[in-house]
Structures are given as C-alpha cells and as structure tokens.
Amino acid sequence: MLIGTAGHIDHGKTTLVRALTGVDTTHLPEEKARGITIELGYAYAPLEQAPGDAAGAASSLGFIDVPGHERFVPTMLMGAAGIDYALLVVAADDGVMPQTREHLAILHLLGIERGALALSKCDRASPARVAEVEAQITSLLAPTRLAGSPIFALSAVSGIGVDALRTHLHALARSESQRSTDAGFRLVADRRFALAGAGTIITGTVHAGVVHVGDKLLLARPDGFRREVRVRALRVSNRKADSGGPGSRCAVNLSGIDYGEIERGDWLLHPALARATERLDLRLHLLPEASRKLGQWASVTLHHPAGHAMARLALLDDTLEAGGLAPGRSALVQAVLDRPVFACSGDRIVIRDAAGRETLGGGAVLDPFPAARHRRRPARLALLSALEQAEPASRLAAVLASAANGLDLEELTAAHNLPDARWQALLPDARQVSTKMGGRIFSATAWADLGETVLARLTAHHEAFADEPGVERERLRRMCAQQLPPAVFLARLEELLAEGRIARAGSAWHLPSHTVELSAADREKADALLARLQAGAFDPPWVRELAAACTLSETEVRSLLRRIALRGEAFQVVRDLFYARATVAQMCALAVELAAGEDGRIRAADFRDRIGGGRKRAIQILEFFDRVGFTRRVGDGQHRAHVLRGEAPAHDEA
C-alpha cells in the first residue's frame, strides 16, 4: 500500500514519516539546510504478516513525502498521483492553513477516497486547542471524499500517538486487496540514475498493469522520443522482486538506454500505449472556493501524472450558454494543450490558473483522442456522458455503439488501456476485422448496418444505371462509408460475397440478380481495343489514338473502355489512358521488387527505368497505385517516394 502525505509547510510531514518508518526522506543539501521538503521523498516499512491476512496482502508499507510549500504544488501533484491512501498532516498549534486546504482539495480532485488525519505537534498545544483544531478538521473534511476519516492526535518528536497511527496503517495495508492488473503497464519516471555494475535505473509509481523482469517495454516521451528497453532487474518498495503491480513503488533497472537520455516525466509503458494527444475531453469540476468562473477558451495550467501543460478549455455542454463554468459546478470540456501528452480514459487531472498560483479544479479524462470538429453535437455529448459510467463494459458498449464506422483497435487500446483479451471479454458480441494495416472492431449492429447500406446503394445504382455492370469498389466505399479504411470495407464486401448477397464481375460489384453483358458488336470492338492496349504494354495508346486506329469516335472508345474497366479487363490510370489488366499486374510486380530494397521505397526514377518511358508517366502510374490503395506516397520534393500499403493491390481487383 502506498501512502502519500499532504499538508502545509512545516507541519511535520517529514518528521512523522521518519517516526513511522525510521527513514529520513530528505536527501538534498538545501532541504537539510532549510528544514523543508523540496523534492519527493520515499520511505518503506516492513509489515509482519498476521494470521488471517488476505491472500496476496502487502508485505511493506510505502510512503511518498511531498513538499508543503505553495511553490512546490506541481511536485506535490506528481507525487500524489497513484497513491492508495492519504495522510493529511495538520499542526495543532497552527491549525488549518492555506496549503492544508489546497492539498486537501487536490486529494479530492484526484479521486482519493481513503485517508487519515494526523493532528501533529499536540505536545505544543493545550487540550482545548487540540479539540478546537480537531473540530476545524472535521468540518474541513465534510464536503470532500475524505469525510469521516479517522483523526490521530500525536507528536512525532515525543512519540505520543504515533503507535496508534502505525497500528492503523499496518492493519489497512495487511487487508489491502490487490488492484486490477489486466491492463497495459504504465509508469512515470520521477528519478533516474546510473549504478555501477547495474546501469540505468529509473524509479516511479506503477499507474497500471504489471512489470516483470525480462519484459520488453518502451521508454517514451510524447514529443516523439522512443527507446525500446528491457527490464533487467526490479526492486519494489526497496526490496528485490520479480514483478511490480499497480500502486507499487518500483526501481527498474533497464538495458537499451543510457540514463542521460531519460528525463523526469518520461513514461515506461507498453508500446501500444505510446500514442500522444494534444486534446482531452474531460469532466471538469471547479472548486467552490475557486476565485473565478471559467469562460470559453479560458487559459489554465493542466497537471497530469507526468507533469503539466498549458491548456485552453472549450466548454462543450450548456455551460457555454450559461456564460461559463461557475465555482462549485462541473462541465464537459475539451482541453486543447500546447504540447502532446500520453493519457488514458480515467486519468485524473488538476487545473490551476495560467500563472500556476491557484488550484481551480480537476476531473477525469473521458476521451484522450477526441475530434476537434463536431465536439458539441448531441450524440457526442451523450457519448461523453456514457463514458462517465463506472462499469467498463457499459462504457465500451457505448463507445462502440456510437461508431458507425467501427473503432481503430490500436486507438481503443491506447484510449482505454485494454489488452485484446480484456476488451474481448467485455465486448463478446463485437466484430473484429483484421487487416495488414491493423485491426478494427464494430458493434454487431454497425457491422450489419454497413452490409445493408451496401445493398441499398447497389440497388439504387442498378436502377439509375441499368446498362452498367456495377460499381467499382473504391467508388462504392465513397457511396457507403467514405471514412472507412479501404481494407476494412473490402472485408465487408468479401463477407457479403461469400454469403451470396452480392456478386462481382471484374472490378464491378453488383447484386446477384443484376446482369449486363456487352452486345456482340460491342464485345468485338472491346476486344480490338484490348488487343491494342496489350500490344502497347507499358506505353499503351491514348483514347484519341485508339479511336483513329479503330475508326471509332472518341466518345464511343471512352465509353467502351470504361465499361470493360468496370469488368476488370483494363484500368484507367489517368483520363483517356487505360492499361490492360495483364500489364497492370506486371507493373505491380515491378513495384513489389523495387519495394524489396533496403529502405522499402519506390521512387519515380527507379520505376521509370523499369518500365521505360518518361518520368511523368511513371509518376502517373504510381499515383494510380496510391488511389487504388496499392501504395502510399511519402515525402515531398526530391524525397518523394511511395511505399507498399499491403492492402488492396491493383492486380487483385478482378
């Protein structure tokens, strides 16, 4: 169990931790000289297992000692994130002071619901004064999550009352049940150093998941810094261990990185969670004692588990029409950050004014990857309200039900920190589609609706264009679900095809009942055109040249070529330039060969050399490959190139 201290400067937090554990948490010369805490301090006390202890009960009690000075509130916030239990310290002689109130407010905003009050320095106050301050504290705690917490009158110097607090804390720790571990691992590095014979070590509190010796993880910053690392060794609560779970204080010995590359606030996490964001949708609560209301686009400092960022707040609900978020009220907001962060749904945040002098409020992240547009639509607000539900299955079901085009599986994992096995258990009826570009999941209703939309669009098209064999796949995707990735849409079409609900003729998708054949005369003309395209190989004749050679009008040639293109016998690369199917297959094979090079890139100059002709023609063909999903353009100018997408290759269209 991890306990975090809180309270005003010089109220005896560090002295009390030393009395409880025997460890002095101050380590900086300045701290010792000034007698105050500046940096986070850590101490541990072993627990003796008693008969009847819960299975897996804690073997040690951990303390995080935080600074009490107003200037160091950001440090206090970083230390308080992830604690299990709060120990609020108030000196009997001083009573409740400004940082007492601010630290208590922060504990409330961080969602910490369990704690105790240490009424310190009782040997310096009269019994009447002790009773008076105890009454103040009871009143102060009443509107917070810590209402009703036990109060221990004590003196850390003389030892009065310390044993009673120690007994209470040890009993809690022994009965503490383990937090859920079925999530990806997340830890924020609050210290880093190198140890002779061991190498790089970071310390931090485990926010989620479990780390094991031998794990391969990512040491990352949201600005793009990434290092693959391996866990060489672990110490949990200052003891050698094989694993560390949620709430544990861990020292992690890493290989694959030099300690000089690591910064405070870096994340050690599962690679799937290293997805940065600059927007957060939140449920934000403004403290009753906040000095002002927050209007649209108010500037604040947003504190998160790894540090802080400047943010501007967009009000999403009817708070905007009411003129702003008033003290003591809550609202749905979107925080637009000045720098990227890593965040998951459920993370707690605290906001202070832009100057960082006053704590204004806080809340929980609902969606770490929100869209910038349409953020106030009723459906979006309803989804955010659903995300506030405590039960994970209900939250995920609401998210999935709101996504007509399904959800990117990587984004879902990163947003909710849900490994595959976990979301599959929570959403047993969800439909997963796997492609080489990644996975996507749909609700059963959305998947069925997509199929019905395809059938409806094809029916309408056949009625309007009875002489056309069907609709080319990419055009059909734009008609049905333009935002859906091509490979996912293809998977839906192929399932409908396997079920016999649709059919395909070349590149044209159609209903099974719809048939269009070329007349004998048109078939003869089409064959003549195809023969000339095939003879032209990588440099086929243009429409005007075909028209002249076959003594047909350009309009008739163009119409015939488009019809046979829908049948998959040819492909239109640019206006009035068609390639035979066999030639396109050859060019796809050449592109695959070029992509097998060291950097995996296909450059126009190299492709030109393989097919002959000019650079312009090579670019036209590569851009055609981009359009049909066979390749993807990367870079610009002299660095422009194309890479294989691994989906929907052009020569498989027929």
253 residue type, one letter: N
334-372 pLDDT, tens digit per residue, is: 999 999 999 999 999 999 999 988 999 999 999 999 999
pLDDT recorded at residue 48: 65
From 261-275, 276-290, 484-498, 626-640, the region with the lowest mean pLDDT: 626-640
Pick the CATH number of 389-516 from 3.40.640.10, 1.10.10.10, 3.30.70.600, 3.65.10.10: 1.10.10.10
CATH fold for the domain made of 276-385: Elongation Factor Tu (Ef-tu); domain 3 (2.40.30)
Cα–Cα distance for residue pair 401/406, rounded to 1 Å:
9
* pLDDT at res. 173: 84
Give the model's pLDDT for residue 518: 80
What is the arithmetic mean of pLDDT over 267-284? Answer: 96
Predicted confidence (pLDDT) at residue 419 exceeds the cutoff of 90 = no
In this predicted model, what pLDDT tens digit does every residue of 128-145 receive, in sequence order? 999 999 999 999 999 999
pLDDT above 60 (res 32) = no
Type of residue at 355:
A
Residue 246 CA to residue 62 CA, distance in Å, equals 13
Residue 651 has pLDDT above 90, yes or no: no
Between CA 41 and CA 76 the distance in angstroms is 11
Q: What's the CATH fold of domain 2-175? A: Rossmann fold (3.40.50)
pLDDT band at 241 (very low <50, low <70, confident <90, very high): very high
Give per-residue pLDDT as tens, 77-100: 777 777 889 999 999 999 999 889
The most distant pair of C-alpha atoms in the chain lies apart, rounded to whole Å, by: 114
pLDDT, tens only, 246-267: 888 899 999 999 989 999 999 9
Q: Which helix (H) or strand (E) holds 91?
A: strand 85-91
Q: What is the pLDDT of residue 649?
A: 43
- Burial degree of 464 (CB within 10 A; 0-12, 13-18, 19+): exposed
pLDDT at 34 over 60: no
d(CA 493, CA 438): 18
3-class SS string, 96-114? CCHHHHHHHHHHHHCCCCC
Domain coordinates in residue numbering, the chain: 2-175, 186-273, 276-385, 389-516, 520-652
Superfamily of domain 186-273: Translation factors (2.40.30.10)
pLDDT at 480 over 70: yes
Q: Distance (Å, rounded) from C-alpha 122 to C-alpha 128? A: 11
Nearest-5° Cα angle at 482, 480 to 484: 95
d(CA 428, CA 406): 15
Taking residues 369-398, report their average pLDDT. 87
Distance, C-alpha 611 to centroid of its chain:
44
* Measured distance CA(3)–CA(83) in Å, rounded: 6
Whether pTM exceeds 0.85? no
The string of DSSP letters for 513-575 reads T------HHHHHHHHHHHHHHHHHTTSPPPHHHHHHHHT--HHHHHHHHHHHHHTTSEEEEET
Helix pair angle (444-464, 486-498), 10° resolution: 80
| Amino acid symbol at 330 | S
Mean of per-residue pLDDT scores for the chain = 88
Q: Do domains 2-175 and 276-385 have the same CATH topology?
A: no
CATH of domain 520-652: 1.10.10.10
Closest Cα partner for 514 from 449, 450, 463? Answer: 463
Q: Which residue's entry shows tokens 């922060």?
A: 106
